[in-house]
Amino acid sequence: MGALILAEATKFLTTMPVWILAVATVALQLPLAWVNAASGVGVPADSPLLYSSVPVPLAYQGFEMADLGYVIVVSLAALWAGSEYTRGKQIRTTLLATPQRARVFIVQAGLLTAFTAVLAFVTMTGTIMINHAAGLTGVDPLLLTPLIWANIGGVTLSWTLTSLIAFALGVIARSAILPLMLLVPLIVGLGSFLAGVWGGARFLPTAAGAAMYGDPGLGVYLPPVLGGVVQAGWAAALILIAGACFVRRDA
């Protein structure tokens, strides 16, 4: 098992697009967080020029920046799943080296989980610290409140579960295209819009994930714990289906 983990980790960490996407997450989101926060200094809290014309509680400020990271982690997961089935059919080499398909699938999903969780935590911690520093909110960026840390944890979990959902869809479809087509529209606004006009849309994976760090005062999201359970359920169900497909069908 150790040799398999080392081999898959080497493959994952030497895939150039993985690092390009990871660096892009940090390099894009942190400066944008600064611009977003600094541009609101001195602007009345109920100004229509702000992201929300309704004052956002301090513990939830800056988390609107999470959407950019969602797009990138979905792209990362889709790439990791779909790259096995590209023109070179890398999956055949992988399975020749390690015929235990279930182990291969578990290790690949585990590596993605660990990488995404670290990326999400580092990126969102930096984003929120910058938001409070540049926005002059009165919150010490080095001494964030327990609720803010809980919301950062919520984003970290949501990004990670979303990446697993994208990975599962990519394995099922044997392509990076399907997860991008299904998840990106939900991330960039469609999911929140549907949740605002139809209660059932709150159970969509992206809307459920947003409940773990979104302002509950908006009345749009599920309770945070329920949102986490729902998104975890989506991820678990799709991972089980993807695992079954990976184990049973021909390479």
Per-residue pLDDT at 230: 97
How many domains, in total, are found in the chain? 1
Give per-residue pLDDT as tens, 172-192.
988 889 999 999 988 887 777
Give per-residue pLDDT as tens, 217-232.
877 889 999 999 999 9
Residue 188 domain flag:
yes
Q: Which DSSP symbol is given to 202?
A: G
Residue 47 domain flag:
no
pTM across the whole model? 0.90
The amino acid at 85: Y
Q: Are 14 and 82 in contact (CB under 8 A)?
A: no
Residue 50 domain flag:
no
Give the residue numbers spanning the domain of 98.
2-39+55-248
Residue 81 domain flag:
yes
Compute the residue count for the chain.
251
Alpha carbons 78 and 98: distance in angstroms, whole number:
22
Residue 203 domain flag:
yes
CA dist 27 to 23, 34, 210, Å? 6, 12, 23
